Amino acid sequence: MSPAIARPAQGAGEERLHSAAYHRRVRKLLMTAALSLVATMAHAADEGLRADLALVAQKRIYFAHQSVGANLLAGVADLAREAGVPLRMVETSRAADLAPGVFGHFFVPENGEPQRKLVNFKAALGEGSNADIALIKFCYVDVDGTTDAPALFARYQATIAELRAKNP
């Protein structure tokens, strides 16, 4: 049998616990502490994000995408603006045109044709692009029930291997 919890002794402490003014002060103190904790956590996250964005802003990045990729870029641009990090984003069809510190992108043709996207990505990236990071985003419509996923993945891997060899 567990021992019963004793009731607090009668006295000044109990009066203070039941005082409305005391409860307001405690709630205010707890709310202030919670807000301070949230602000500290947000500041730490902001500093980490700012550092990541500053690193991105120094690289030559080439991103092949369609519409959802444009939404991703808009989100990155918003984050950079809010963090106070200047980020140069330019639409360009050739990765070789990238200057240092430029996030280049282009609308790779065409949704529903992933093999064609790979061919166009390969042509746009070319040889000697000097891109630090190059990536392609496929769309959900690029793959359906008739897609030979292993063959597509093999083609993707071969394309990336070829591009790495041409762009060390």
pLDDT at position 168 is 79
Q: Where are the domains of the chain?
A: 16-166
pLDDT at position 2 is 53
Q: What is the pTM of this model?
A: 0.70
pLDDT at position 10 is 56
pLDDT at position 44 is 53
- Give the mean pLDDT per block of 10 residues along the chain (168 residues): 53 53 66 66 70 93 90 92 92 90 91 94 87 92 94 96 89
Strands (E), 20-130: 61-65, 88-91, 102-107
Q: Widest CA span of the chain, in angstroms? A: 84
The string of pLDDT tens digits covering residues 30-68 is: 777 766 666 555 555 588 889 999 999 999 999 999 988
115 Cβ contact list (under 8 Å, min separation 6)? 152, 155
pLDDT at position 76 is 92
pLDDT at position 89 is 94
- Angle 71-77-80 (CA atoms, 0-180°, nearest 5)? 145
110 vs 92: CA distance, rounded Å = 16
